[in-house]
Amino acid sequence: MVRFNAAVDPAAELRDRLTGVYAALDPASTTGTTSTAYASESGTGFVSALELTDLTTNPLLMLPEAPRLRDVISRAAGGLIAPTPEPFTIAGAYKS
């Protein structure tokens, strides 16, 4: 999981990069990969979560779009965002 806040100006570019990464992730990912990016209503708060069933295979690491996204995130957040995501545990989920 990666959480950060962006300045207003680069938020639109960041949304465009996220769209590009997700478009590339679909054909590159394996079964058991779930990834979701959230943007706050204000458009400046972001959370990106990647759930893997096979922890040894992260399809994001193979995408050329991923380093460009990290660069945009770092610029938008005003500082370097660690390339290693913060581990998380799903405390609850619902899908109807």
> What confidence score (pLDDT) does residue 77 get?
77
> What confidence score (pLDDT) does residue 63 get?
81
- Point out the residues of the chain with pLDDT beneath 50: none
Report the percentage of the chain scoring pLDDT > 90: 0
pLDDT one-digit tens code per residue, 46-72:
888 888 777 777 777 778 877 887 787
The 3-state DSSP class for residue 38 equals: strand
Sheet holding 45-52, edge to edge: 2-5, 45-52, 33-39
pTM of the complete model? 0.66
